[in-house]
Amino acid sequence: MTLVRYFGPRLDEDSAEPTPNALGSKGFGLEMMVRLGLPVPPGFTVTTALTAAVRARGGRLDATERAAITAAL
């Protein structure tokens, strides 16, 4: 499961095409603007899969999730 996805100068260009279902509407929109060459500050999106997993556990991040978000910051 992809936990975070970068956009901006550090755009993740993996084999999976971004979708609103995977990134949420805002994350998808930001990535599309970067791909179009529009000026977007660098950042990352927490994927909807990670959000769903955290919600299922009552809002608690596990160590791997916490590390991925901390590294992205």
Could you tell me the pLDDT band of residue 11, with boundaries at 50, 70 and 90?
A: low
Tokens of 49: 């899969």
CB atoms within 10 A of CB 23: 22
Q: pLDDT tens digit string along 17-44?
A: 788 999 999 999 998 998 888 998 989 9
Q: Minimal CA–CA distance to 44: which of 20, 27, 62?
A: 27
pLDDT recorded at residue 7? 83
* Range scoring the smallest mean pLDDT among 13-17, 38-42, 63-67: 13-17
pTM to 2 decimals? 0.79
- pLDDT at residue 68, rounded to an integer: 93
